Amino acid sequence: MIYLTQNFNDIHTFECGQCFRWNPCGDGGYIGVAGGRVCRVFDGKVYCPDSDNGFWESYFALDEDYDSIKSELEKRDPELKKCIEYGGGIRILHQDLWETIISFIISANNNIPRIKKIIETLCRTFGDRIESEEPAGEFYSFPTADKISALDISDLGCLRAGYRDKYIADAAAKVSSGEVSLGAIPEMSTPDAKRELMKIKGVGGKVADCILLFSCGRYETFPKDVWIKRVVTELYGISEAQIDGFINDKYGNLAGFAQQYLYFWARDNKIGTK
């Protein structure tokens, strides 16, 4: 068992848009599937086989000092304090790179319930059954690039993912062939890693930033869509052209944490929606 006693809230972490295979269960906790493993999180505890402790400790990034991160962010940007207090239980997860690529390809111009349904169908149809006694249930692993690349694109029609089918197929083909090297990406500089990911159809700048932030711990990235740009310009009184320089100067290598606190607060408080 692992204890998430500080700087963790399950709703903040699992409902902030960074992950899609965590679902609430009847006791008020969450059940999640990652890396071919299943665990239940309840009341700040991770219930899993002892042999999986190391995996989940890495997944929840338990080596990150969130007290120091929050303190430094508030020092750099006092305006962010209310966002940090609102979403202070967010932890940026260390997710599997391949799964994160496909998840965020699916996420583009989509809503979270539909994203989760597509991913669950993908796993149930093409993944492997995971044996789990606690929590009990029917769980499936995320299918590998090799497995998906061996399919005909018509096989992906069951996902009801629309035009994203061809992006999923393209990602699988390029990763399976080695044209896009998953093993090399974590060792690359962030600009080079971003360029490598953008070889995949459907991976633009924002999706690449999400992938790097949520799987590779590239905390200097600040994923930006039209809405988050609007939030930043409205909150800080800057133009869209000034956003990148503003973020780099103010947050530096902590930009990803700032983005998550800002995103969660602005979304729930409907900032930037007018």
| CB contact at 8 A, 207 and 225 | no
My answer on whether 116 and 193 are in the same domain is yes
Residue 102 in any domain: the answer is yes
Handedness of CA 164, 169, 170, 176 (dihedral sign): positive
Look at the chain and report how many structural domains it folds into: 3
My answer on whether 204 and 105 are in the same domain is yes
My answer on whether 132 and 187 are in the same domain is yes
| CB contact at 8 A, 219 and 257 | yes
My answer on whether 156 and 244 are in the same domain is no
Residue 154 in any domain: the answer is yes
My answer on whether 208 and 103 are in the same domain is yes
206 is catalytic: yes
My answer on whether 211 and 227 are in the same domain is no
Q: Residue 270 is encoded by which pair of tokens?
A: 């409907």
Which range marks the domain in which residue 141 is found?
97-216
**Is the model's pTM score more than 0.85?**
yes
Residuewise pLDDT in 10s, the chain (274 residues): 899 988 999 999 999 999 999 999 987 899 999 999 999 999 999 999 999 999 999 999 999 999 999 999 999 999 999 999 999 999 999 999 999 999 999 999 999 999 999 999 999 999 999 988 778 889 999 999 999 999 999 999 999 999 999 999 999 999 999 999 999 999 999 999 999 999 999 999 999 999 999 999 999 999 999 999 999 999 999 999 999 999 999 999 999 999 999 999 999 999 877 6
Exactly one of 70, 174, 206, 224 is catalytic; name it: 206
Question: For the chain, how big is the Rg over CA atoms in Å?
Answer: 19
In order of 73, 98, 183, 195, 243, the CA distances from 200 in angstroms are 33, 12, 16, 9, 26
| CB contact at 8 A, 161 and 106 | yes
Residue 243 to residue 225: CA distance in whole angstroms: 12
Query: How are strands ordered across the β-sheet holding 30-34?
Result: 2-3, 45-47, 37-42, 30-34, 22-24
Residue 229 in any domain: the answer is yes
Q: Residue 81 is encoded by which pair of tokens?
A: 């304090």
Determine the Cα angle at 14 with ends 161 and 243, to 5°: 80
My answer on whether 142 and 50 are in the same domain is no
CATH (domain of 43): 3.30.310.260
My answer on whether 158 and 75 are in the same domain is no
My answer on whether 116 and 208 are in the same domain is yes
My answer on whether 34 and 131 are in the same domain is no
Residue 72 in any domain: the answer is yes
